[in-house]
Amino acid sequence: MPFDACCGRYLPPEAAPAPTAEALMRSRYSAYVMGNEPYLMATWHATTRPERLGLADEQPRPRWLGLSIVRSEGGQNTDTHGLVEFVARYKIQGRAFRLHETSRFLKEDGRWWYVDGDLQDS
């Protein structure tokens, strides 16, 4: 699926919010790939959001390789909670890594928010 049809359409500040928890997860992955910290902060629930991420300070920067959704529970238009388990692959200085997380999402005022996640052993 093309980037603009999948995730990119939610990244501009004036864009409509992601309609499902999984769509928000995919758009947040894209934001990490692009180093778009403002989007990540704007989609993180205020109760768990850090003051900053410092993506620009990461040295060396990861080279993101892909995202796989393992499972998605809830997180649809009529739900208030969602769970998305994913594996994101990346490389740092030629060495491959996997980030395997089960993320929790909350819908408030018609908008999905990333709340937090549990890292899984891969």
Residue-wise pLDDT tens digits, 68-91 = 999 999 999 999 999 999 999 999
Collapsing DSSP states into helix, strand and coil, what is residue 59?
coil
Give the pTM: 0.92
* 99 phi, psi to nearest 5 deg: -110, 115
Residue-wise pLDDT tens digits, 25-68 = 999 999 999 999 999 999 999 999 999 998 888 889 899 999 99
Pick from 121, 82, 118: nearest CA to 102: 118
